Amino acid sequence: MSACVDQELLLGGLIDGELDAANTALVEAHVARCEGCREELDRLQAVRNLLRADGVRHSAPETLKQRIAELPELSPRAGKRQMLPGWLAPGLAGALAASLAMVLFVPVSDPSGIDQQLVSSHVRSLQPGHLTDVQTTNQHIVKPWFNGKIDFAPPVPELADKGFPLAGGRLDSIDGRTVAAIVYHRRLHTVNLFVWPSKPVSERTSVEDGFELAEWSDGGLRFAAVSDIPPQELQQFERAFRAQAAASQR
């Protein structure tokens, strides 16, 4: 059985300890339910152990290490040598100072940290028993479930015919307020759609800790979809959700 194409690089990163905490939790949760990826992870671990065995990895002889250490290019004095003509150095220093000033004083966007909160909530929801407070594929159960629990009514369209079956909903917390989290599936993957009242924000897509995010506003609500599916599929989800939500309001 083959591993999932979109997980192959992550499996290698997991073996090598190169993933952050969020991606580690996600990959481990995926491996726990995917036989193909579990077999690939075992194979990668076996190869890694084999390469670490005595007689397989080649160690450089001490004489070669000593010769490398004695190279003039590695001498501490090498970095101190004048590499530019004297007449050019002052001009270059001035240009460098001007460039640094531009870097220091050009306004840089300061993210509010909401994207990181969204990803953290998405990863936390993937732990057993955390994904939904109400588990059902029936939109007529999920939508009224939010009544009385939050002070707004999020749209809950059914998207099974678009490849994103409804899984349920739950309450979550983003930026210090309670939000609605509507859960959809995409094959073996999860799409968390967070919804809360907000002034309009610019539509955008981004990547945070390896997760795809799509954000938009509509009807006084802010929507943020988070998943590990390919970006074009998350955009497909956004288009399907917005179209179905608009149709239900007519």
pLDDT tens over the chain, length 250 residues:
778 877 878 888 888 777 776 677 778 878 888 888 888 888 888 887 777 666 655 667 778 777 777 777 665 555 555 555 555 555 656 665 555 554 444 333 434 589 999 999 999 999 888 999 999 999 999 999 999 999 999 999 999 999 999 999 999 999 889 999 999 999 999 999 999 999 999 999 999 988 999 999 999 999 999 999 999 999 999 999 999 999 987 7
Report how far residue 225's alpha carbon sits from residue 216's, in angstroms, rounded to the nearest whole number.
9
Residue 245 near residue 155, CB atoms below 8 Å: yes
Degrees, nearest 5: CA angle 19-22-25 = 85
Report whether 221 contacts 152 (CB < 8 A).
Answer: yes
pTM of the model: 0.58
